[in-house]
Amino acid sequence: MLAERVEHVALPTEGAGEIDILPGHIPLMTLIAPGELRYYKEGEAHSIAIDRGFIEVKGDIVAVLTDSAIEVEQLDPDATAKAQLRAAEAVEEARESGEDPEVLEQLETKARYALVQKLLAEQKH
């Protein structure tokens, strides 16, 4: 959980691409996609790897609800690369075995989040 007074927030959404939320933004509720959430405080950018979820904007409050989030500075490039490889292998095995589409979708979501973490870890370290 993060409760900070920030200048603005940028994050990926499902369907609309990346959005930038500034003070006074119109009320909004939408789906977010796995990716990088950036928030800016005192002119400095901070990054968090986020999973799928929802965002709600009311007045100057931005609420993000996601299953997983981790500050990019805490990501270990080697560990994220291994996790991404395991996630991709699990998706491939599920496809080959004819796994239930709902289970396959969950595995694909985990694989996308693992890829996001891997890419962000490589960029930041």
Give tens-digit pLDDT for 66-115: 989 999 999 999 999 999 999 999 999 999 999 999 999 989 988 989 99
Instruction: Please compute, for residue 100, the number of CA atoms within 13 A of its CA located in the half-sphere on the CB side.
Output: 3
Split at pLDDT 50, 70, 90, the class of 59 is confident
Q: What is the longest distance spanned by two Cα atoms in the chain?
A: 51
pLDDT for 67: 87
Split at pLDDT 50, 70, 90, the class of 124 is confident
CB 72 within 8 A of CB 121: yes
Q: What is the pLDDT of residues 101-121, one digit of tens each?
A: 999 998 998 898 999 999 999
Report whether pLDDT(4) > 90. no
Handedness of CA 53, 57, 58, 59 (dihedral sign): positive
